[in-house]
Structure 1
Amino acid sequence: MVLGYKDMLAEAESQVASVNVTEAAELLGSEEITLVDIRDIRELEREGLVPGSKHAPRGMLEFWIDPQSPYHKPWFAEDRTFVFYCASGWRSLLAAETAQRMGLKTASLRGGFTAWREAGQPVETRAPR
């Protein structure tokens, strides 16, 4: 294997800003940021999500970001910083790097949703589909 996941994470870490739970909580509700949960829908239904965050499944991210895609989501075209999170912060770090390469202002939530929940921050539940 030429490039492993640890190499990819290290590279992304050097390119993408990260915020901790306290910083993210202070930004909640700000007009300048959008929190983006990239976890699988089953994770959201089982564990909840950060209140007010958007959901963008990791597998559709590039298609939802690109305005030329038939799957484009207009909220990705807003002039904001997109703070990505997943369960532990690995997937979201890679997603933030991808979104940044596609022209978005991005950051990643260090420690992900697990750190958010363990810090006692609010959690919004989502009904199963």
Structure 2
Amino acid sequence: MAVGIKDLMEEARADVRSITVEEANALRDDPDHVFVDIRDVRELERDGLVAGARHAPRGMLEFWIDPDSPYHKPYLAEDKTFVFYCASGWRSLLAAQVAQRMGLRCASMEGGFGAWRKAEFPTETRD
């Protein structure tokens, strides 16, 4: 029997801590938390991102996390909690689940960047 996206999302919701945009905003200046935008670079260029966030495209996330990968990014090996987000929260929930399985402390931001912008929290443009 095939597994659908609803099944994957339900499993991820059971595994990963989800936080609201209000909770996320309260953590934005906390040096122990790193915001990670997993959206495609075109989305960042078009819409911007959470002020101070790092970018890790969803398609490269596992490679950037694994220290044995030639694509590893050292910031993803820091002893911090990573707050993943995407446009609406679906991709980031699945990304946070994978990152958590790979040993990172994670949270997924509910509602994603869309909810963040709607709340009028700080954003910045991508250079």
Report the 3-state secondary structure (helix = DSSP H, G, I; strand = E; otherwise coil) of the residue aligned with 1:31: coil
**TM-score, length of structure 2 as denominator length:** 0.98
Alignment-mate amino acid for residue 59 of structure 2: G
| Distance (whole Å) between structure 2 residues aligned to residue 108 and residue 125 of structure 1 | 22
Report the 3-state secondary structure (helix = DSSP H, G, I; strand = E; otherwise coil) of the residue aligned with 2:117: helix
- 1:125 Cα deviation from its structure 2 partner: 0.8
Q: Which runs of 5+ in 2 are unaligned?
A: none
| Distance (whole Å) between structure 2 residues aligned to residue 70 and residue 112 of structure 1 | 29
Alignment-mate amino acid for residue 67 of structure 1: P
**Residue 36 of structure 2 is aligned to residue 36 of structure 1:** yes
Q: Which runs of 5+ in 1 are unaligned?
A: none
Report the 3-state secondary structure (helix = DSSP H, G, I; strand = E; otherwise coil) of the residue aligned with 2:50: coil
Poorly superposed stretches of 4+, deviation over 6 Å: none
| Distance (whole Å) between structure 2 residues aligned to residue 96 and residue 24 of structure 1 | 15
- Which string of whole-angstrom CA distances, capped at 9 and with x for unpartnered residues, describes residues 58-93 of structure 1? 000000000000000000110001000000000000
Report the 3-state secondary structure (helix = DSSP H, G, I; strand = E; otherwise coil) of the residue aligned with 1:126: coil
| Distance (whole Å) between structure 2 residues aligned to residue 23 and residue 74 of structure 1 | 26
- 1:24 Cα deviation from its structure 2 partner: 0.5
Residue in 2 that maps onto 1:118: 118
Aligned-residue RMSD, C-alpha: 0.7
Residue in 1 that maps onto 2:72: 72
Size of the alignment, in residue pairs? Answer: 127
- 1:29 Cα deviation from its structure 2 partner: 1.7
Counting only pairs closer than 5 Å after superposition, residues 1-129 of structure 1 correspond to structure 2 as: 2-127=2-127
- 1:40 Cα deviation from its structure 2 partner: 0.2
| Distance (whole Å) between structure 2 residues aligned to residue 123 and residue 36 of structure 1 | 13
Identity of aligned residues (%): 65
- 1:117 Cα deviation from its structure 2 partner: 0.3
Report the 3-state secondary structure (helix = DSSP H, G, I; strand = E; otherwise coil) of the residue aligned with 1:24: helix
Alignment-mate amino acid for residue 71 of structure 2: Y
- 1:122 Cα deviation from its structure 2 partner: 1.4
| Distance (whole Å) between structure 1 residues aligned to residue 30 and residue 71 of structure 2 | 26
